[in-house]
Structures are given as structure tokens and as C-alpha cells.
Amino acid sequence: MTAVWLVFRHTLWQLVWGKKILVVAAAAALPIGIAALVGPVLPDDDIQKIWISLVMGVFVQLMLPLTAIAFALGLISDEVERGTLLYLITRPNAKWTVVVAKCLAYLAVATAMILLALIGLYAVLRLKPGAAAIDEVGGIAAVAPALLLGAIAYGGLFLGVGTVFRKPMIVGVIFAFGWEGLLGNIPGQTRLLSIVYYIRIMIGRATNEGTRFMQGMHVDDGVGVPSATASAIVLIGIFLAGVAIAIWSFGRKQYALSRVQ
């Protein structure tokens, strides 16, 4: 367990002090900036709409996949590219400890970034008269679980992608902004194959306003829509599958051959 803690702490340090956090911070600052910019000029009655729109539009569609691309994709592959993985795998620790530790570090940073952004957005919107309407649709508590589970699902999946593929960046971007953007918004059963759909369902079921928003987005058309619990289970399942693939692949790979010289 000491090895897990050591690698976790070191990875956390790398993520927090690395330059990639600037990209995630930009995405995190986006909803806060938009709220600060448009909040004062929009009618007070629109407060719920602003809140849900920013959660659905920025957090779900942008921040979660971007956080996973920035952090989770490179957890293993960055070490491979730098050539530093050797120092981790030639120590007397099982290889899975490296994967688990790095995954935990991602979860810690992603959770912190999402919660900070969410609290920041909430705080900015609370300055507006009539902001109590946000609490009527559950406030932070209603959307945070879905967002965090979304971050977990994307993180697990992209950890797996980053471990299995030699060029994980392409696969990650095409999945996050191609596959998810396309399938997640097409009415019908194909959207069951996207992560974003389950996150939207969870948020929609937790907030009345969200449900209305979902109807506008052709998400909640009533037939065969999974429950919030089922959606949460799917998201956790995706996470576990991603981590399992990462551990399996990491244990088998011969990284001395992978480094781009």
C-alpha cells in the first residue's frame, strides 16, 4: 500500500503542478466566466435555465471529457513518453499498484476541479436576485453526483485507452468529441452507447428543470429511458471496466519497446 500512496502522491503533484491543469482550469473557469458575464443582463427568472444550461452545456459536454483527455489519457502514456515509467516498474511493487495509484490521483484532481468549478458557478449565480431558484432544483447536491460519476466513467475509460493504445490522444479526442457528440445527441437507442447520455439522465432525474432541458435535447423521450440508479451503475461499470482493462494491459505490455525515441 505504501507504493500506491507514493505513486498517488507523486502523480497528484504532477497533475496539480503540470501545465495541463491550465486547460482544465480554463474549462472550469468557463461556466463561472459566462455566469459572471451574462448573469447581470439576463432576467432573474432565467436563473434555473442558466444553471442547468451551464451544467449540461459546459460541465457535461466540455469539462468532463476535457478533464479526462488532459489527465487520464496521459496517466500511463506520459510516463512512457518521458521514459520515466522504467523507474516505476523496476521496483518491487506489483504493476497494478501503479495503475490504481494513478487512477486515484486522477479522481482526486478531477473531483476537486469539478467541485471547485461547480461551487464557483453557484457562488456567482447566488449573487443574482432570485438565486434561491437554483436550490429548488436541488442546487449543487443534485448535479454533483452525476458530474462526479461522469468524471469517474470518462477517467476509467480514458485510463484504459491511454494504456492500451500507442496513440491514445487521437482515440480519446475522437471518442470524446466525435462519438459522444454524435451518438449522445441522436434520438434513438444508439445514445445508450454514449457516456454523456447517462450523465444527462442522472441530472435530468435529479432536477425538474433538467428534465425539461433534456426534452429539448431529445434525450428524455419517455420510452426505455434508464433510471438514475441504472445510469449510475452503467457509469460505475464503465469506470471499472476501463480500470480493469488498464491493469490487464499494463501487466502485459513491454514498455521498453513503446517509448518514442
Partner 1 sequence: MTTNPQPEPVTMKPATMKKTPAPVDPSAPVVLNHVSRWYGEVIGVNDIDVSIPGGVTGLLGPNGAGKTTLIRLMTGQIRPSKGEVRVLGESVWNNPGIYRRIGLCPDLDSFWETMTGYEFVRYTARLAGYSAGDASTRALAQLDRVKLTHAKDRKVGGYSKGMRQRVKLAQAMVHDPELVVLDEPLTGLDPVGRREVIELVRELGEQGRHVVVSSHILHEVEAMTPRILLIHRGRIVAAGEVHDIRAMIDEHPHRIEIECDDVRALARRLLEFDDVIRVAIEDDAKRLRVETVRPDDFYSRVPELAIETGIGIERMTSSDDNLEAVFHYLVK
Partner 2 sequence: MALYDQGYRHWDGALSGHATRWLTITQHGVRQALRNKWLVGLLLLSQLPMIGLSFVAYGMLQAGDRIAQMEGADAAAVRMAEGLGADFFMKLVPMEIFWVVVICAFAGAGLVARDRESRALEIYFSRPLTRLDYLIGKFGIIFTFSMFATIVPSLLLYAVAVICQPTMGYLKQTWTMPFALAAVSIVISTSASAVVLAFSSLGSRYRLVAVGWIGFYFVSIGFAQMLFGLTKQPEFTIVGFMNNLERVAIALLGATVRREYDYSWMWSALVLAVLTFGGLLLVLRRVRAVEAVK
User: Which of 1, 40, 41, 223 touches partner 2 (CB under 8 A)?
Assistant: 41
Residues from 158 through 177 that contact partner 2 (CB under 8 A): 166-167, 169-170, 173-174, 177
Count other Cβ atoms within 10 Å, centred on residue 100.
Answer: 18
Q: Which of 28, 25, 159 is nearest to 105 (CA)?
A: 159
DSSP single-letter state for residue 138 = T
DSSP single-letter state for residue 94 = -
Question: Residues in the site for partner 1, rule: CB under 8 A?
Answer: 2-3, 6-7, 10, 14, 17, 82-84, 86-95, 251, 254-257, 259
User: Is position 34 an interface residue for partner 2 (rule: CB under 8 A)?
Assistant: yes
When the beta carbons of 82 and 218 are compared against partner 1, the nearer one is: 82
When the beta carbons of 98 and 234 are compared against partner 1, the nearer one is: 98
Is 158 within 8 Å of 168 (Cβ atoms)? yes
User: Is position 178 an interface residue for partner 2 (rule: CB under 8 A)?
Assistant: yes
Q: What is the torsional sign of CA 64, 69, 73, 75?
A: negative
Residue 76 CB, nearest approach to partner 1 (Å):
15
- Binding segment for partner 2 (CB under 8 A), chosen from 63-71, 189-197, 203-211, 249-257, is 63-71
Residue 173 CB, nearest approach to partner 2 (Å):
6
Radius of gyration from C-alpha coordinates of the chain: 19
Q: What is the torsional sign of CA 58, 63, 69, 72?
A: negative
